[in-house]
Amino acid sequence: MTRTYPSPAEMDAAVARLCRGELVGFPTETVYGLAGAADSPEAVARIYALKGRPVAHPLIVHLARSSAITDCAREVPASAFALAEAFWPGPLTLVLPRHPRILTAVTGGQDTVALRVPAHPVAAALLEAFGRPVAAPSANRYGRISPTTAAHVRDEFGADLPLVLDGGPCEVGLESTIVGWLGGQWTVLRPGLIGIGALQAVVGAVAASAGAGAPRVSGSDAAHYAPRTLTRLTVAAELALDSDRVAVLARRPRPAGFAGLAWLEAPADAVGYGRRLYADLRRLDALGAREIRVETAPDGVEWDAIRDRLRRAAAR
Ligand code: TXA
Ligand code: MG
């Protein structure tokens, strides 16, 4: 994977913007984020305004290192440290009881806070240089597909976001796994690359999904991560039927009879598929197709996060 690094001058400019309460686009290993100082009410308000995100939908607080967890959460079970030890820096977000110093604007008014130490070297360098926690949702307008390249972020925000640090294409390509410490047990709130089995191997019991009364997760709105073009999940045998002005994403080559606009052949392995998924959906969404058809994903647990995102992309 080609990795790009911003110049030292760009890194300095990014830190200066964060210090002024302004926003910066930055790469993480999962997707690009829209960063603002987590302890600045102005910065947090700007994040919600720029994304067009409802203020009740909480943001993830990004930390330079796991030791900062106790500055942000008022109760940290030993198992949270075990998860941090096993998976940070990396694509895992922990939801814990909010420390009073965390702005309620960051947590959407909830009494819990989402924390993550990202692994991308540019994210790590930015957090280290800024020296304070950074609140960052994915750098897309509310409800749209998350960005996995700096160009995607520029497409989303244009001149409204003057500085986007380019760290190359994201290695994971799907948002972090979110696991919450709720009512004395761990619950997966959003599936990601780190699967439930890997979490269970570290902390024992982990519940698969949130029940009633669980905190809001904006990614759990039905129509989320969605292309503008009508998107449908389709079994392989029906991908090429009546294909006029249709755009397809499938784990197989384009068949002879396909008469549509585009056929993208996706990797057959879940990790490779996830890395490319959002870029592929953006390409297909730009074609002015009548319909995007995506081949349904396989059943295995390694496809959990992908099935989740495809379901949302196709929700209306
Ligand atoms: O991979 C990621 O997590 C990326 C990168 C930039 O770190 N960030 C990301 O942020 O996906 P965003 O805002 O698009 O999604 C954050 C998710 C939302 O679904 C939000 O509701 C949930 O985290 N979340 C944040 N705080 C929470 C809390 N206290 N309780 C439950 N869910 C929370
Ligand atoms: Mg998002």
* Residue 60 Cα to ligand 1 middle (Å): 5
Question: Quick one: average pLDDT of 66-91?
Answer: 97
Instruction: Tell me which ligand sits closest to the C-alpha of residue 140.
Output: 2
Instruction: Please provide the average confidence, as pLDDT, over all residues in the chain.
Output: 94
Q: What would the pLDDT profile of 152-199 be if each residue is shown by its tens digit?
A: 999 999 999 999 999 999 999 999 999 999 999 999 999 999 999 999
Q: What would the pLDDT profile of 104-114 be if each residue is shown by its tens digit?
A: 999 999 999 99
Instruction: Tell me which ligand sits closest to the C-alpha of residue 175.
Output: 1
Question: Quick one: average pLDDT of 35-56?
Answer: 97
Q: Of 20-24, 210-214, 250-254, 289-293, which range is least confident?
A: 210-214
Instruction: Indicate whether residue 178 lines ligand 1 (CB < 6 A).
Output: yes
* Residue 95 Cα to ligand 1 middle (Å): 9
Instruction: Indicate whether residue 112 lines ligand 1 (CB < 6 A).
Output: yes
For residue 93, give the ligand 1 atom closest to its CA: 3
Instruction: Indicate whether residue 187 lines ligand 1 (CB < 6 A).
Output: no
Give phi and psi for 133, each to the nearest 5: -65, 150
Please determine, for residue 123, whether its predicted confidence score (pLDDT) is greater than 50: yes
At 215 the pLDDT is 45
What are the structure tokens assigned to 96, written together? Answer: 């814990």
Instruction: Tell me which ligand sits closest to the C-alpha of residue 221.
Output: 1
At 115 the pLDDT is 98
Place 316 in a pLDDT band, splitting at 50, 70 and 90.
confident
Question: Quick one: average pLDDT of 18-46?
Answer: 98
Instruction: Indicate whether residue 195 lines ligand 1 (CB < 6 A).
Output: no
Q: Best of 175, 177, 190, 312 to mutate for ligand 1, by most ligand atoms within 8 A of CB? A: 175
* Residue 190 Cα to ligand 1 middle (Å): 9
Neighbours of ion ligand 2 (CB under 5 A): 138
Q: What would the pLDDT profile of 189-223 be if each residue is shown by its tens digit?
A: 999 999 999 999 999 999 987 543 344 454 555 55
Instruction: Tell me which ligand sits closest to the C-alpha of residue 30.
Output: 1
At 225 the pLDDT is 78
For residue 139, give the ligand 1 atom closest to its CA: 6
At 89 the pLDDT is 98
**What percentage of the chain reaches a pLDDT higher than 70?**
95
Ligand 1 atom 3: residue of nearest CA: 176
At 223 the pLDDT is 53
Question: Quick one: average pLDDT of 43-67?
Answer: 97
Instruction: Indicate whether residue 95 lines ligand 1 (CB < 6 A).
Output: yes
Question: Quick one: average pLDDT of 28-41?
Answer: 98
**Contact at 8 Å (CB) between 65 and 84?**
no
* Residue 175 Cα to ligand 2 middle (Å): 7
Please determine, for residue 16, whether its predicted confidence score (pLDDT) is greater than 50: yes
Question: Quick one: average pLDDT of 260-277?
Answer: 98
For the full predicted model, state whether its pTM sits above 0.85: yes
At 4 the pLDDT is 82
At 3 the pLDDT is 72
Please determine, for residue 1, whether its predicted confidence score (pLDDT) is greater than 90: no
